[in-house]
Amino acid sequence: MATLNLASIEKKLNYRFQNPRLLQQALTHSSYAYEHLEASLKDNEILEFLGDSVVGLVLADYLHQVYPGLGEGQLSKLKAALVSTGSLSVLARKLGLDKAILLGRGEEKNGGRRKKSILAGTFEALIGAVYLDSSFDTARQVLQNLIKKYFKKLPRDNFLINNFKSALQEYLSQQKLPGPVYRTVTESGPAHEKVFTVEVCSGPEVLARARGLSKKSAEQKAAQKALKKLLKNKFKVFSEEAFILKPEEEQEDPPGWPEKKS
């Protein structure tokens, strides 16, 4: 492993490991450890397990403090958007983890460095490593600084957040229209780089069509297109799965939007 990668990651984290082996373990995927049994390497699965809990608690506490006016429902949706595989994989790439992960030959060949699940898991392992190397308070500070730095789209005031698929489901239900059905139209590309084209329908009507590197991603993009078409309302895309309605746009709900809980 290149020392430069480790130093670069520590610099971006603004944290220096007392035990560098924890950082190396956080970057060791199980596929690599399995292929190098003679080296008795520890993979990052236990660190990922710890990091998942640390990330969840830190973000819940952080969002509760930053947005005291949001109800439990909205806080849960915002937290879900931040801890989603897509959002955590973004943080992993910002830190350069995609270049530093140790992968087995098979996983490398299958495009493991681009897999969001691997990137998100590695990020959680990294936070777990910081926690074990220092303390919960230090891990909290490291993670909060990353959120403030890389998720600048978060508004300062109260707002409405939802993910595209859930919002489309809610809208169609409110309008007493058939619920959304997602169909894969085409699949193209090699096994490790497939591109999926998905369309979303309400009854016989095709609402939108979109492409993505996974069926889930394509479905979210299709739901996003459908919402723009149906709501005719400007909203701010927060992540590949979630959007935000700005405070000034909350004063009047879009047609058919579910009533906000007080």
Selected catalytic residue, list 43, 48, 107, 124: 124
The pTM for the full model equals 0.75
Q: 31 vs 248, which has greater pLDDT?
A: 31
pLDDT (tens digit, 9 = 90+) per residue, 7-19? Answer: 999 999 999 999 9
pLDDT (tens digit, 9 = 90+) per residue, 188-212? Answer: 988 777 899 999 999 999 999 999 8
Asked whether residue 25 carries a pLDDT value surpassing 50, the answer given is: yes
Q: Which residue segments constitute the domains of the chain, with CATH numbers given?
A: 3-150 (1.10.1520.10), 160-249 (3.30.160.20)
| Residue 61 is among the residues annotated as catalytic for this protein | no
Asked whether residue 257 carries a pLDDT value surpassing 70, the answer given is: no
pLDDT (tens digit, 9 = 90+) per residue, 137-172? Answer: 999 999 999 998 887 767 666 667 778 898 899 889
| Residue 124 is among the residues annotated as catalytic for this protein | yes
Selected catalytic residue, list 52, 133, 199, 240: 52
Please report the sign of the dihedral spanned by the C-alpha atoms of residue 16, residue 18, residue 23, residue 24: positive
Rounded alpha-carbon distances, angstroms, from residue 213 to 116, 189, 197:
10, 10, 9
